[in-house]
């Protein structure tokens, strides 16, 4: 199907120690771009690999692929800045050239065959197209249920997000330029992108297992990512702590009345266990509260310094 005014399409792929999958990823994405160019669905296409301070041969392989493959471009960051910041760097570079940009992970779990469908949605007037998983059968029981709990928690806190959507999406140049106006350092793009507005839609696909290598999101990173998501978009945890403090104060007044009644009726119940348990319980609540407040203060501290998100060392462009 030939398009009257085909677009230039960019595909941004953040990479951290992805040497094992780069050739296969390039092969699959190149075939999709080549097919779409031949059918007239797009005018041209490029793959922007963003090297996020990899410790293996990821960047030399990207440079090699740039020489061998007409579609491959490269962005080398001076250090490791995290997946979200690396993705932002790629979107910034690609949006300077391309009409629309698709972001996708390098591990080939997201189905590249829905890329043409995303582009067709763009032609229909949608400036943001989310890639959404149909189901989570390939995930472990723990990951599947913790993900469900996380999305429900985010919804209850008033955060706009798309269920079962990660960072596989198409964005128009205009949408990306608006995204760049969000200057926070603690990035949670799954929550920021829905705030942009514009016409949006979703395409659905089955997620495969990782082609090779190990996941770059172990439990520790997943927890940090979840904490960033909650604390970057909602102050409800702080309000809940305030309400919890009020409840504890009311309970303490009730205990005071009980102690006074017991004293005057000579029915004093001795026992250090209840006292120690109470001290530990209240002390634990205080520490949890301080931890939550500390998260917000820490984010304020990072934001007010206004440091650059990333430092681009080298760009390989067509």
Check: CB of residue 154 under 8 Å from CB of residue 236: no
Mean pLDDT rounded to a whole number for the chain:
80
**Using one digit for the tens of pLDDT, what is the confidence trace for 6-46?**
999 999 999 999 999 999 999 999 999 999 999 999 999 99
**Using one digit for the tens of pLDDT, what is the confidence trace for 115-129?**
999 999 999 999 999
**Using one digit for the tens of pLDDT, what is the confidence trace for 76-90?**
999 898 888 899 999
**Using one digit for the tens of pLDDT, what is the confidence trace for 245-290?**
667 766 766 766 766 676 677 666 665 446 655 776 776 677 677 7
């Amino acid at each position: 199907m030939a398009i009257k005014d085909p677009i230039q399409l960019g595909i941004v792929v953040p990479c951290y120690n992805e040497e094992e999958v780069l050739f296969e990823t390039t092969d699959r994405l190149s075939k999709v771009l080549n097919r779409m160019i031949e059918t007239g669905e797009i005018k041209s296409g490029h793959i922007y690999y963003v090297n996020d301070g990899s410790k293996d041969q990821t960047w030399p392989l990207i440079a090699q692929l740039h020489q061998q493959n007409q579609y491959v471009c490269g962005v080398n960051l001076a250090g490791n800045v995290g997946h979200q910041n690396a993705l932002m760097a790629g979107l910034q570079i690609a949006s300077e050239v391309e009409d629309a940009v698709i972001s996708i992970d390098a591990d080939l779990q997201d189905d590249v065959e829905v890329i043409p469908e995303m582009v067709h949605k763009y032609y229909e007037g949608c400036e943001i197209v989310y890639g959404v998983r149909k189901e989570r059968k390939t995930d472990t029981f723990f990951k599947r249920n913790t993900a469900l709990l996380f999305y429900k928690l985010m919804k209850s806190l008033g955060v706009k997000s798309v269920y079962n959507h990660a960072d596989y999406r198409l964005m128009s140049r205009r949408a990306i330029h608006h995204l760049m106006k969000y200057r926070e350092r603690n990035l949670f793009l799954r929550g920021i992108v829905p705030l942009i507005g514009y016409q949006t839609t979703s395409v659905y696909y089955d997620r495969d297992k990782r082609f090779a290598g190990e996941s770059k999101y172990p439990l520790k990173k997943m927890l940090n990512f979840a904490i960033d998501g909650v604390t970057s978009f909602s102050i409800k945890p702080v309000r809940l702590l305030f309400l919890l403090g009020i409840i504890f104060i009311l309970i303490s007044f009730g205990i005071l009345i009980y102690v006074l009644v017991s004293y005057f009726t000579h029915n004093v119940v001795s026992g250090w266990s209840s006292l120690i348990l109470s001290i530990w319980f209240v002390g634990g609540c205080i520490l949890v509260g301080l931890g939550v407040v500390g998260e917000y203060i820490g984010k304020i501290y990072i934001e007010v310094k206004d440091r650059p998100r990333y430092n681009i060392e080298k760009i390989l462009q067509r």
